[in-house]
Structure 1
Amino acid sequence: MTAEKILEVFNHMHANPELSNEEYETTDYIFDYLEQEGFSPVRFKNITGLYCDMGTFSDEYPTIGIRADIDALYQEVDGVKRANHSCGHDAHTGMVIGAMLKMKNHEALETRGIRFIFQPAEELGSGALAVVEEGIIDSLDYLFGIHLRPIEEAAMGQASPSIEHGSAASLEFKIAGDDAHGARPHLNHNAIEIGADIVNMLSKIHINPIIPSSVKMTKFIAGGKSLNIIPGIAECGIDMRAQTNEEMDNLKDRVFKILKYVEEFYDVSIEEENFSGIVASESNEEAIQFLREGITDALGAENLMEPIITSGGDDFHYYTVKYPGLKGAMIGLGCDLEPGLHHPKMTFDRKALANGTDILYHSILKVK
C-alpha cells in the first residue's frame, strides 16, 4: 500500500510542476495529503513549502530532519516552454512522504523527533536559506536528504551514503561604456575587446590543481544591427565551480580582482547585476555512517556505494554550513536515470521510489 501511495504522490507532482517560489498548489497538495493521512503539517510563514513533525521532541532524544525539495525547472519540452520536473524533486517528495507513512505509529517515535521538511526554490539556490530564516532548523541534531543520480554515477538498486557536491556560483555583470562610430575607435573602448581580455584573464587563474575547479565566460551579448557602431556596452555572465568552499572563495576573489582591474584600466564601469552561488557539501561522518547502515538494511551490503563526488550543486548543504553542529548528509539513489538530470526527457526506474523510501526509513531507525 505504501508503494502505491508513493507513486500516487509522484504522479501528481510530476503532472503538476511549479517553478521556484511559485509552489502554491504543490504546497496545498502536500498539506492536504498529509492531513488526510492523519499528520499535522505546518505551512511556512513567509515562503512556500511546509514541514511536519512526528515523534518526541526532547533534549533527551535525538531530533532528525528529513528534507525534500518541491520546485521544478523551467525549460522547453516538446517545443513548449514550461515548468518541468527533470531533476527528480517529484520523486524526492514522494519518497519522503513514503518514509512518513512507514514511520506512522512506529514505536521508535517514542525515542526520537523527526521533522519532515518540504523546501521550495532549490533550483534557485535560495530555498534552504529561506527555510533557515523560518527558524525550524535550529533544534535539529541530524539532517538527511536524498537525490536521484544519473546512471553514470549509480545503477538501479545501488545507493551512496553521501553526495559530495562542489560549490557553484554565477555572476552577471554589464560593461557600461559608450558607443562610438566605426571610423573613430579612439573615442571609446570596444566592449567586445574588453570582454575578450576578461576571457583571457580568466583562463590565467590558477588555484590548487588537486582540487577540481573551473571559471569561464558563459554569456556575452554586445553590438547590434549596425555594424558601423563600436559597442561600448556588453551583457556578460561568468560560471565558477570549485570542489571546496575555500577554493571557491579564492576563485571569486580572483574574478572580482580581474573585473576591478579591467574597470580601472579601460575607464569603464562594470556593473554587477546579479551574483548567486551554492556552497560545497560539508557532510558529517556520523550522519554518513547512519545512512550507510540504512542503505545496507534496505538494499544489502553489496549495493552500498562509496560517497559520490560531483561538480554539480545542491542548496541542501547551506544547512550544514549555516549550522556547523548539524550532522548532515545526502543519499545518492541509483535508479537508472537517463539521459541525465535536467534533460527535458529525463526518466528513471519508478521502482527506485520504494528503495529510497526504505533507505530513509531504516536510516531514521539507526539514529539513537
Structure 2
Amino acid sequence: MKVETIAQRVKDTFQYLHNHAEISWEEVKTTNYISSLLENSGCDITTFKDCTGVMGKYGNFNKGLPVVAVRADIDALWQEVNGKFQANHSCGHDAHMAMVLGLLWRLEQNEGLKDKVAIKLIFQPAEEKGAGALKMVEKEVVDDVDYLFGIHLRPEQETKMGRATPVIVHGAAKMYNVELKGHDAHGARPHQNQNAIEIGAQIVNMINKIHLDPRVPHSVKMTNFQAGGKNANIIPGNASFSLDLRAQNNELMEELETKVNRIFDAIRNLYDVEIGISNTDQIAAAKTNEEAIVIMKKSIGEILGEENIDQPLVTPGGDDFHFYTIKRPSLKATMLGLGCDLKPGLHHPHMTFNDQALMHGVNILYRAVLNTYGL
C-alpha cells in the first residue's frame, strides 16, 4: 500500500469515527469497528467481557524482543452542539485512533518488519472519565510492555502546525459530582429551610478564596449546578453540582482536595445540610521518562525537521495516560504533542484542526517504533 493510499485511508477512518462518536464506557460500535480493522491487518486481538476497548498485537512475541505499546483513547464527550446534546469528538480522540491505525498500516507496508517488532496497539475506553487506563492496567495489557507511546492533538496556542513536542507534562485533575440534601420550603417562608442555591453560591465564593503555592498552577471551579424545578415559588433544599480541580503536580492536588473537603465540612456545620460526594473521577499528573522522550524527539526531527521540535509542553490539562506509569513504574513512556492548527480549543463543540497533520502523527509514531528497535 502506498503512503498516499494510507494517508487517504487515515482521513477516511478519522471521518468515520468522527461521525460515529460514542461516550465513555459506551464505545461498543467503535470497539467493533477497530477490532475488524486490526484483524484485517493480521493482528491478534483481545477484547473484554466487562468493558469496551480492544488491544491488537502485531509482530513477533516469541523472540524476546522489547514490547512497544501505542495507546489511543476512543471515547467522545457528551456536550451541547448547535442546541442539541450529543456525543462529540471535540478532544481529538477520533484523530488519535486514526493515527494509531495509520501506524499499523505503515508497519504492514514494510515487508519483513513484522518479525522484528513486538507491538501492542491499545485502544482504550473512558479517558474522559479518567478511568480507562486503570481498567486496562487491571486487564494486564501493559504487564509485559517496555515502552509506551501516546499522542494528543494540541491547540494552536501551545504547538503550531508542522511542529511537535516529544512530551506533554500534564497536570493532575479531579472531578467531583456532589449532592446537597435538605428540604424545600414555600417562597414566602425562607426561614423554614436552607436555600440550596444560596449554599451553592457560598461554596463558589469559598473555593475562589483557596490560595496555594502560586508558583505551581492550580485551580478549582464549579462546572455544573442544578437546583429547583418549574415552580418559582418553591425554595429548593436539594441541589447537585460538579467541581473541577486542577494542579500541576500530585502533591499540590492533595492540598487542594483537602481545602475543598474542609469547605464542605464548614458548610455542613453552618447550614445543617448533607453534602455527599456521589462520584469522583481523577487523573494523575505526568511522570516523565527521559529515554522515551529522547526517542520521540529524534523521531520528530526525522519527520518534521529538528527546527520544528518544541520544548516539553507543560499544560494544566490532564490525561489518564499517566496512570499506566504510576501503576507500572518500569514503563518507559511519553506522549507526543502534535501541532495541527487546532482551534478554537480542545473541548470546544466546534473544534477543528488541519487534517494534513494526521500523517505527521502517523509518521512520527512509525519512526518512534523503529527507533526504539534501532531499525
TM-score (norm: length of structure 2) = 0.90
Q: Displacement, 1:306?
A: 0.8
Q: For residues 96-111 of structure 1, what are the structure 2 equivalents within 5 Å?
A: 96-104=100-108, 107=112, 109-111=114-116
- When structure 1 is superposed on structure 2, of 144-153 and 27-36 the one drifting more is 27-36
Q: Is 1:236 the counterpart of 2:241 in the alignment?
A: yes
1:329 to 328, 334, 338: 334
- When structure 1 is superposed on structure 2, of 261-270 and 87-96 the one drifting more is 261-270
Give the structure 1 partner of residue 66 of structure 2: 62
Give the structure 2 partner of residue 116 of structure 1: 121
CA distance 1:5–1:192, change in 2 (3 Å): closer
Q: Displacement, 1:60?
A: 4.1
Give the structure 1 partner of residue 304 of structure 2: 299
Give the structure 2 partner of residue 309 of structure 1: 314
Q: Is 1:288 the counterpart of 2:311 in the alignment?
A: no
CA distance 1:200–1:109, change in 2 (3 Å): same
CA distance 1:231–1:40, change in 2 (3 Å): closer
Q: Displacement, 1:358?
A: 0.6
TM-score (norm: length of structure 1) = 0.92
The CA distance in 2 between the partners of 1:109 and 1:120, in whole Å, is 27
CA distance 1:258–1:156, change in 2 (3 Å): same
4+ runs deviating over 6 angstroms: none
Task: State the percentage of identical aligned residues.
Answer: 51
Aligned residue pairs total 368
Q: Displacement, 1:348?
A: 1.6
The runs of 5 or more residues in structure 2 that have no matched partner are none
Q: Contact 1:180/1:187 (CA < 8 Å) preserved in 2?
A: yes
Q: Displacement, 1:112?
A: 3.9
Give the structure 1 partner of residue 284 of structure 2: 279
The CA distance in 1 between the partners of 2:231 and 2:351, in whole Å, is 42
The CA distance in 2 between the partners of 1:77 and 1:220, in whole Å, is 20
Give the structure 2 partner of residue 49 of structure 1: 53
Task: Give the 3-state SS of the residue equivalent to 1:74 in structure 2.
Answer: strand
2:354 to 349, 352, 358: 349
Q: Displacement, 1:330?
A: 0.6
2:212 to 207, 213, 221: 207
The CA distance in 2 between the partners of 1:21 and 1:156, in whole Å, is 32
Task: Give the 3-state SS of the residue equivalent to 2:52 in structure 1.
Answer: coil
CA distance 1:236–1:46, change in 2 (3 Å): closer
Q: Is 1:141 the counterpart of 2:150 in the alignment?
A: no
Task: Give the 3-state SS of the residue equivalent to 1:49 in structure 2.
Answer: strand
The runs of 5 or more residues in structure 1 that have no matched partner are none
The CA distance in 2 between the partners of 1:228 and 1:345, in whole Å, is 38
Task: Give the 3-state SS of the residue equivalent to 1:123 in structure 2.
Answer: coil
Task: Give the 3-state SS of the residue equivalent to 1:25 in structure 2.
Answer: helix
The CA distance in 2 between the partners of 1:59 and 1:177, in whole Å, is 64
Give the structure 2 partner of residue 34 of structure 1: 38
The CA distance in 2 between the partners of 1:249 and 1:134, in whole Å, is 28
Task: Give the 3-state SS of the residue equivalent to 1:75 in structure 2.
Answer: strand
Q: Is 1:25 the counterpart of 2:29 in the alignment?
A: yes
**AA of the residue aligned to 1:42:** T
The CA distance in 2 between the partners of 1:33 and 1:127, in whole Å, is 21
CA distance 1:349–1:217, change in 2 (3 Å): closer
Q: For residues 164-203 of structure 1, what are the structure 2 equivalents within 5 Å?
A: 164-181=169-186, 185-203=190-208
